[in-house]
Structure 1
């Protein structure tokens, strides 16, 4: 009876107290600090948090509160504590998130007694339930702010970035600000987008006093320069940032719309060696000769003067405990303060109510020397790449990230493509003749940052996807969209409207269908290593620092064009894991080495390992194959030709001494291999390019992709090979131990083929014929070889679950079926439609399809 009465008042608009002067005595609103209106289906213990205010001149007693959802049976009202005069309280009303995904018309009614009379208040509160995400969905993140969720969602992003925090001190009342951010999280979550936060210490040290206190200083106590960064080793700052992070977790950590957070981007760039009292205390662990070198300017954050090394041998082999090298290794791992600071923030964010799916990342994570520890203990390392002049160099930076995570095996890698191009590097001089100007040069003659060429974007994406990354990112929203879609005016300009179309197309046709498979797919264990030497970087200013413009980076390009698959390793990896897994060790710019690294390389050669190096190699090692470094000109066509000549020479020299696993007969079609059990996944990226009419007239970038063809081969006997983008089996020929097929690739394009021992012959769906509304049905989907044996691979699948009206239901989407089997629990909502439902299973390898019906009662 009570429930019926509540429902009547909720939806009729009738009030208990009708007198004009009694209105608004009892007020309901969404809680500022805990309020949410959007929920993920099947969330546990979901509640709607509300604030109730007593604006009357007497105590409100015996109050009850009820959340009613139209067309859904009512729950019991919740008792509300007595409300004293002028007070407010927060209450939580249960909400059933197991209902069918969709929008719900809901109302909250609070009714109580005031001076012996009934008083009530009503709040209309639209609620939303969104479907649960498909497992192993690949994150696609827009690194940067967008004005709303509509266009990012349309393009295909899964997250967008927003910087927020508590920047006015920790003793302020932030309730209105928290409510604003939580509302924004609701809006984005309802649109199917998550939000990625951005937290930087510099946000909290912007005022003059804080900047003076924390700016990095030299040995004379003076800031290093106007660009000097802040000292992350300050115990006071570390404690403060821990409190900030805890406050963020406390206020937003329960909201599933907050998916991730970037920590301290680009802060290591200005990490000059610092001399605060806490820094100098930390330096006490090192010998006096290190302190003397620091005070005399013989050691800086990126260089050690070789003259400061005692008894430096002519062969440039150093003792493993060389104090200067040990100091610099410590500096980049701990001493600069940034890695410990990131760990402190990460730990604090996850200590106070943060939901389990939240993760942290740091970038640009390899803008450092080649030494383990970058990012602290964040969950993911990321780094961005400008694709000019050669898009496949993005793979070199990605491989550096994997080398970095080897020191922290629980960390994973994401990879970002810059949507922006520096005008100065790609199209610096405006043609004097208007007829030679591109349209964008007329529209934006002063643009400092322009849009990446579409074919570069496509090629870079395939390079990323060929590696076991766990997410992709893009930066430069304003260069992707037209001005009406930007948050505020920017130096980034959209100068190529095709780029956005290509990104949307590639996300829709490649990333989403194959993403779940790719997220689960391990790398192939390559036998080609490329050593980046920290010791050489410190003594001889070597290294790429993530920019991909060094000789080391070009050597990586040479290996890719030679159809080899290099794995970048650091000196620490050689010491910890040895070189037993490798047959080839490439050593660009390895001028100097630690003693034990040198010994392991000698042992590697004695076992028959092949050392490939340049003329900068320490004279203590004699390479098996030697090159002279090639230094780039400003002509990308000539540079590529010269590097590819080295690649061709290397192929020839390795013909009789190296056993290949895969190959491409076209140097401009770059192959890469991944593996799961006995299944292989061969990627190919089309790097065939020329000058176009976008920026090509400036002759700094070959931005226009061209179609290309190659014969690809994998060491496998009579396999079944499937094209995963057109979903069909391909014809192969057998040439000895190698299976071969012809690949035709679009400009800037790529592809991936699944190679199986046995062909796929059929699909199956197992599920109950009858399911009661409100119950769950277990569904097993299989991809089968002959004899009904599941394939031993991770197979990309599309699953469509439709209700009796043909509408897509929850659990519809793209999956990766590990070992050919996919288990899905269909949780039928109590308000789902009754009748005949349909499940369709598509195999994105073979193109096979199977259907099965079931009934919901």
Structure 2
């Protein structure tokens, strides 16, 4: 649905222009122009309102941009509304001129307008968690979605400033996030009377006073009206891309809603109350009944019963009713591993802490599991923030320009930003799973704009933001259109993340949130180059194990009866099950490992330096009041040695049973396989780390990447592929024997690289384009990437295309693209106000480094 245009007071009221007429008399008239905004994507129409101080008769209204006339029509009366086409205008700032012509003379008024290139739909989006209007720092460092209007702080008189900020984003080709009313948090629901009947939330697990009942008609009415007002004010501005709301509320809502509607919903869906759950029903060792009330109750709470899913879905409906193009989004997903918790949303996200090991970012696999087979996309966010005492002892804050702020906010003292090399590695781990978006979270305590002095660099190193920019310049931008097209290759191995075990298990907790408990074991598997697809209970119950030969079951104390039957069926057909020492259900032939990860929270600077650490930790921890406990610290180097020993044990025990498809000669390099069009691509991640200069002396994190050259072996291949390192843009030498082949790969401080296993050699690029093109008319160019036989190459071929006009200025077509199966068709539309003459096109292949040039005469 297109929103109605509500012009802003971006009016340009010009003084009266005096036009001489033959009789010697003068005509005094004033003209005012109103536009709802001052930036438009090329192809949009500009809604222009023209107002005259006196009615016009027998007049003609003409509109031109940079001297190019776009429309001419009769006008009568004192006003007119017209739609000014922009399809034939070039991208960039320009001047719109409206002229009123009468027999008595001509009056005109002008307004500055920007025509913007619509961001490509295949771009890898880089999203900033949080932020307000001013986000230039982040855009300068490679972010593509950052900041934007927030409903909680919205004032109608701030609309002009909000639209101006959105215009600035559109002009530079980036997007904004809006924060609408989510329909459950009291902060969002302005004007709701908390004393009204059944409005205050009842039954929350924690902080009940912060919520309203999302099922209440009173609350629903305010939610709808709030979002109509918010979205109505912002209009159809194309710079708005994400609607983000209800973040972190799930942590407090682990019980069912006890308002009138909630009680009735529980009665209909469950037939029993929270007080009638009873005790767990085991039907065999480690096997619970499928109708176990405790398990059913918890699933119901998170899928429906707490009301959060309802609020999320209804808010998404509000947004989509007005802006179907905006992505709706909430987070985090980290407490339980149930499916169908986010109905109606486009994106589901979480943020992940990676102390003490970057490989904890393998949590992206749980996000993939949640969204697999749905229309939703996962948005994995890198938490750049580190809590006090993690990387350096809390007592080490350093002299800082932030000292005054920290004195007023003592709970933030000692918080540190992640270093640049860990930022690169965790980003590559996400990239290895072919994301459509990546997010980063700084926090107000580590704001790189606020803390930008030399003395701030220990706490908030700007090198970390520079690392994101480097990744953007060298990887996200050039290879993003390829990465967003790739798919993870099918895997033989599944890894179970069981919520039944989370609910009823007795095994000790390791590091991180409940959903993260499997990732010590998963990291060991990845170090042995045995990556797997994470599955949840519901995946197993519905039969998804039929697609796998191997099932890993870490921290799996309990399963449902249906799950147990499916796992036994896997074993019966010859599959392999591996587990740790905590396996509860009886499964014949299981290969068990005695891997202890309970020490990993003690890889902590406070514990190493002083023998104490937080007794419990999560995002709600207050460093000033949190309880401490004694703990003998474990250094990051000791942790690395333990993890490598586990990887060797795993690899040795599974030899001949479970072999990696892609093997690397060191556990300090990671690999994942992606594919498209029958061609496989490897993402290699450098996990060779040492103590860094900033916090290395505290021995809690190995955060400095060490360059290395590794040998990669591809197994079970009929013939060697032509292997290309895309970032180096060169063909790698291969050696092969016995159905396998190997090749060397250099891994640098950049953190990773992309490898193409091409069935044919890249030979040449051909470009085809017309000899001449006419301004104002669309034409096309085509690019072909060919092998030695002159055939288009299979798979994906990332390209950099530069098109410059006769004066050497880049045109709108300049950018990064991706050919599919060796071919790219690209529309080209020279604008009426473009420069005529010879235009030059240069295409660079970003796989093998080939180039081609061509010229076109634009008239």
Q: TM-score range by the shorter chain?
A: 0.7 to 0.9
1:615 match: secondary structure: coil
Q: Which residue of 2 aligns with 1:216?
A: 201
Q: Deviations over 1:756-791 (max 9, x none)?
A: 111111111111111111112221111111322111
1:701, distance to aligned residue in structure 2 (A): 1.9
Q: Note if 1:125 corresponds to 2:111.
A: yes
Q: Note if 1:308 corresponds to 2:279.
A: yes
Q: Is the 8 A contact 1:774 1:829 kept in 2?
A: yes
Q: How many residues align?
A: 794
Q: Is the 8 A contact 1:149 1:191 kept in 2?
A: no
Gaps of 5+ in 1: 1-8, 84-89, 169-173, 300-306
Q: Note if 1:36 corresponds to 2:26.
A: no
Q: Which residue of 2 aligns with 1:189?
A: 170
Q: Which residue of 2 aligns with 1:159?
A: 145
Change over 3 Å in CA distance of 1:625–1:319 after alignment to 2: same
TM-score with structure 2 setting the length: 0.85
1:229, distance to aligned residue in structure 2 (A): 4.2
1:377, distance to aligned residue in structure 2 (A): 2.0
Q: Is the 8 A contact 2:335 2:514 kept in 1?
A: no
Q: Deviations over 1:104-151 (max 9, x none)?
A: 1223456899xxxx8998543101112233341111122222563533
Q: Which residue of 2 aligns with 1:99?
A: 89
Q: Is the 8 A contact 1:233 1:338 kept in 2?
A: no
Q: Is the 8 A contact 2:452 2:462 kept in 1?
A: no
Q: Which residue of 2 aligns with 1:554?
A: 520
Q: Is the 8 A contact 2:482 2:798 kept in 1?
A: yes
Q: Deviations over 1:685-713 (max 9, x none)?
A: 11122222312222322222222332112
Q: Deviations over 1:638-664 (max 9, x none)?
A: 233223222211111111112431011
Q: Which residue of 1 aligns with 2:615?
A: none
Q: Note if 1:199 corresponds to 2:201.
A: no
Distance between the aligned counterparts of 1:370 and 1:126, measured in 2? 52
Q: Which residue of 2 aligns with 1:811?
A: 813
Q: Which residue of 2 aligns with 1:661?
A: 661
Distance between the aligned counterparts of 2:583 and 2:545, measured in 1? 18
Change over 3 Å in CA distance of 1:463–1:41 after alignment to 2: same
Q: Is the 8 A contact 1:681 1:755 kept in 2?
A: yes
1:52, distance to aligned residue in structure 2 (A): 3.9
Distance between the aligned counterparts of 1:278 and 1:686, measured in 2? 52
Q: Deviations over 1:691-745 (max 9, x none)?
A: 2231222232222222233211223322100001011111111132222112222
Q: Is the 8 A contact 1:346 1:377 kept in 2?
A: yes
Distance between the aligned counterparts of 2:694 and 2:706, measured in 1? 14
Q: Is the 8 A contact 1:614 1:626 kept in 2?
A: yes
Distance between the aligned counterparts of 1:334 and 1:189, measured in 2? 38
Q: Note if 1:458 corresponds to 2:458.
A: no
Q: Which residue of 1 aligns with 2:694?
A: 694
Aligned match for 2:481, one of 500, 504, 516: 516
Aligned match for 1:144, one of 121, 130, 134: 130
1:156 match: secondary structure: coil
Distance between the aligned counterparts of 1:217 and 1:442, measured in 2? 41
Change over 3 Å in CA distance of 1:378–1:804 after alignment to 2: same
Q: Is the 8 A contact 2:133 2:148 kept in 1?
A: no
Distance between the aligned counterparts of 1:287 and 1:718, measured in 2? 57
1:162 match: secondary structure: coil
Q: Deviations over 1:620-651 (max 9, x none)?
A: 32352112341124123323322322221111
Change over 3 Å in CA distance of 1:621–1:78 after alignment to 2: farther
5 Å-filtered alignment, 1:753-772, equals: 753-772=755-774
Distance between the aligned counterparts of 1:768 and 1:623, measured in 2? 67
Q: CA RMSD in A?
A: 3.4
Q: Which residue of 1 aligns with 2:65?
A: 69
Q: Deviations over 1:233-288 (max 9, x none)?
A: 44443343234334444443521111221132111111142311111111112566
Q: Is the 8 A contact 1:161 1:198 kept in 2?
A: no
Q: Deviations over 1:828-852 (max 9, x none)?
A: 1122221111111111111111111
1:308, distance to aligned residue in structure 2 (A): 1.5
2:464 match: secondary structure: helix
Change over 3 Å in CA distance of 1:422–1:37 after alignment to 2: same
Q: Is the 8 A contact 1:215 1:223 kept in 2?
A: no
Q: Is the 8 A contact 1:771 1:777 kept in 2?
A: yes
Quick check: 598-607 or 492-501, which moved more?
492-501
Change over 3 Å in CA distance of 1:199–1:10 after alignment to 2: closer
Q: Which residue of 1 aligns with 2:268?
A: 285
5 Å-filtered alignment, 1:169-568, equals: 176-201=157-182, 202=185, 203-205=187-189, 209-210=193-194, 214-218=199-203, 224-225=206-207, 229-273=211-255, 274-285=257-268, 290-291=272-273, 294-295=274-275, 308-310=279-281, 312-352=282-322, 354=323, 356=325, 358-364=326-332, 366-395=333-362, 397-406=363-372, 409-430=374-395, 447-476=413-442, 479=446, 481-483=448-450, 495-540=460-505, 547=513, 550-568=516-534
Q: Which residue of 2 aligns with 1:724?
A: 726
2:487 match: secondary structure: coil
Distance between the aligned counterparts of 2:536 and 2:29, measured in 1? 69
1:199 match: secondary structure: coil
Q: Is the 8 A contact 2:571 2:588 kept in 1?
A: no
2:147 match: secondary structure: strand
Distance between the aligned counterparts of 1:804 and 1:389, measured in 2? 55
Q: Which residue of 1 aligns with 2:641?
A: 641
Q: Is the 8 A contact 1:765 1:782 kept in 2?
A: yes
Q: Is the 8 A contact 2:402 2:451 kept in 1?
A: no
5 Å-filtered alignment, 1:700-849, equals: 700-715=700-715, 716=717, 717-747=719-749, 749-849=751-851
Change over 3 Å in CA distance of 1:196–1:439 after alignment to 2: closer
Distance between the aligned counterparts of 1:595 and 1:836, measured in 2? 72
Change over 3 Å in CA distance of 1:852–1:119 after alignment to 2: closer
Change over 3 Å in CA distance of 1:787–1:693 after alignment to 2: closer
1:530, distance to aligned residue in structure 2 (A): 0.6
Q: Which residue of 2 aligns with 1:853?
A: 855
2:146 match: secondary structure: strand
Q: Is the 8 A contact 1:795 1:843 kept in 2?
A: yes
Distance between the aligned counterparts of 1:63 and 1:418, measured in 2? 61
Distance between the aligned counterparts of 2:37 and 2:721, measured in 1? 53
Q: Is the 8 A contact 1:134 1:814 kept in 2?
A: no
1:423 match: secondary structure: coil
Change over 3 Å in CA distance of 1:109–1:165 after alignment to 2: farther
1:73 match: secondary structure: strand
Distance between the aligned counterparts of 2:232 and 2:132, measured in 1? 25
Q: Deviations over 1:508-562 (max 9, x none)?
A: 0111111000000011111111111122222237899974885412111111111
Distance between the aligned counterparts of 1:223 and 1:787, measured in 2? 67
Change over 3 Å in CA distance of 1:706–1:330 after alignment to 2: same
Q: Note if 1:15 corresponds to 2:11.
A: no
Change over 3 Å in CA distance of 1:482–1:248 after alignment to 2: closer
Q: Is the 8 A contact 1:61 1:82 kept in 2?
A: no
1:182 match: secondary structure: helix
